[in-house]
């Protein structure tokens, strides 16, 4: 089965439409909120892919993205991203050694 990318479009304040790819979603037991981590596949000045995160309600048919304003919530997301990066790095290193 082919992996299909989950995407959505956002419209900026100036009317520009941008397609974003959902990297993953999760529910935090600590905050009792659902989060969506996504990218518009652009890069920063260092060549790193830009990644964003928002709060969302999985039961809302409109899927409104709510800004994260709490440092504690950002720390949870940053920890998960670091863990995923480390796992990906380990997987790449072990496959290179084989």
Residue 97 lies in a domain: no
Q: Read off the tokens for 10.
A: 């956002």
- pLDDT of res. 61: 87
Alpha-carbon distance of 64 to 61, in angstroms, equals 9
CB 64 within 8 A of CB 75: no
Residue 81 lies in a domain: no
Q: Structural domain of residue 41, as residue ranges?
A: 7-69
- pLDDT of res. 32: 94
pTM: 0.81
Number of domains in the chain: 1
Residue 11 lies in a domain: yes
Alpha-carbon distance of 65 to 73, in angstroms, equals 15
- Tell me which H or E stretch contains 1: none
- Tell me which H or E stretch contains 82: helix 71-97
The pLDDT averaged over each successive group of 10 residues in the chain (98 residues) is 76 91 93 95 93 94 90 93 87 78
- pLDDT of res. 97: 72
- pLDDT of res. 3: 61
- pLDDT of res. 12: 83
- pLDDT of res. 41: 93
Residue 1 lies in a domain: no
């Amino acid at each position: 089965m082919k992996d299909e990318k989950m995407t959505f479009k956002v419209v900026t304040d100036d009317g520009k439409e941008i397609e974003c790819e959902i990297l993953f979603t999760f529910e935090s037991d600590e905050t009792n909120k659902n989060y969506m981590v996504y990218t518009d596949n652009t890069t920063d000045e260092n060549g790193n892919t830009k990644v964003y995160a928002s709060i969302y309600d999985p039961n809302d048919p409109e899927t409104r993205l709510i800004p994260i304003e709490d440092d504690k919530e950002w720390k949870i997301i940053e920890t998960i991203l670091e863990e995923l990066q480390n796992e990906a790095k380990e997987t790449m290193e072990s496959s290179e050694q084989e």
